[in-house]
Structure 1
């Protein structure tokens, strides 16, 4: 979570009278992200309760029992893309409004909407902006702010992007090493860093995640 969100003080409501009381569910593996968002959103007068879940199974159980109107889902959870869960929860609770959120990178509007999400939230935004995005979604808007579309080089270095593109193209590590004039050991190191930054465990997940973030075509 961004430093701006962690250090934010109380945030005032903006036209909160337009927004009916909302039950909010935050789905993210990070307890820090959950705690920060629950503190931030829970202080708003239009939020009646703010729940958290660290896994998709727990989130679905809570969603069915508590029927939240707003569900914020991490774009990567349990080593997989969170968009699959967005589709699942949107189908199970058609009246809920689902927002996909990310601490880095972006999710294409068309891809998010295809999976049932009605908004995208960058956790790198200031606290006031995060509240504004969530509130507007609660009011019925589809929100994909331009300011959340962060540059890919804020996530991966130039060399890591080179390695990622070759991996997505299907090249093996030795082939990537030859193409980039690097040692196999260096390519292996870059690959490990790419996996860690994307929150994935293997090449297939990296390719899927990179496409979702708009890092590759």
Structure 2
């Protein structure tokens, strides 16, 4: 996997850091914590399954590094990332997902300093997280969207308006389409992206770089 990276890195040492893993999926969260907890540079590895729990643990334990899922119980990981950087700017935030990638420009504009593909082997995960812990920035290069996620121009229009928060009637009026046609396009977009609702569609679209 090609990596785009930047920032300084101390090759000899990394001071022990508290890491907070935020993912609603228990297996993913437990797996990442198990992988990282045994590293000498990890002082503690905490886990949260919701945004509220993440805020509580962050205020209580003051982690230096936050691994944040792209979607947490319907909440956008990008929005949470931006909020953490505004309220706790000392925390280094890495976005993570097992499906797709988020564009580097979109991630950095929301305050992230790295992206972690959770489908990587354990050694790769440790390497990427440590680079960020040492002060670097690491983003995997964006692959092309899967074939079945490629949308028509009209479907992309619907997706962008959907992500911006427009209702189906509002989209129908704006695009000069019937409500039934908009509903059909929306259903097709969900199917192609493999999602079930607007929040998941927004998260998936951002991962694939389909919306800015």
Shorter-chain TM range is 0.7 to 0.9
Preserved contact between residue 164 and residue 194 of structure 1 (Cα < 8 Å):
no
Structure 1 residues 141-163: Cα deviation after superposition (integer angstroms, max 9, x where no partner): 011132xx23310xx615x7348
Give the distance between the partners of 1:164 and 1:194, measured in 2 at CA: 10
Give the distance between the partners of 1:209 and 1:192, measured in 2 at CA: 10
1:60 pairs with 2:55? yes
Q: Which residue of 2 aligns with 1:140?
A: 135
Displacement of 1:117 in angstroms is 0.8
Q: Which residue of 2 aligns with 1:151?
A: 144
Give the distance between the partners of 2:210 and 2:83, measured in 1 at CA: 25
1:161 pairs with 2:151? yes
Determine which structure has greater relative contact order: mean sequence separation of CA pairs < 8 Å that are 6+ residues apart, divided by chain length: 2
Structure 1 residues 51-92: Cα deviation after superposition (integer angstroms, max 9, x where no partner): 000000100100010001110000111113111111111222
Give the distance between the partners of 2:40 and 2:202, measured in 1 at CA: 41
3-state SS of paired residue (1:41): helix
Q: Which residue of 2 aligns with 1:124?
A: 119
3-state SS of paired residue (1:105): coil
1:21 pairs with 2:16? yes
TM normalised by structure 1 equals 0.74
Compared CA separation, residues 145 and 191, structure 1 to 2 (3 A): closer
3-state SS of paired residue (2:151): helix
Give the distance between the partners of 1:208 and 1:104, measured in 2 at CA: 11
Q: Which runs of 4+ in 1 moved over 3 A?
A: 160-164, 169-174, 187-195
Q: Which residue of 1 aligns with 2:89?
A: 94
Preserved contact between residue 16 and residue 45 of structure 1 (Cα < 8 Å):
no
Compared CA separation, residues 77 and 140, structure 1 to 2 (3 A): same
Aligned length: 187
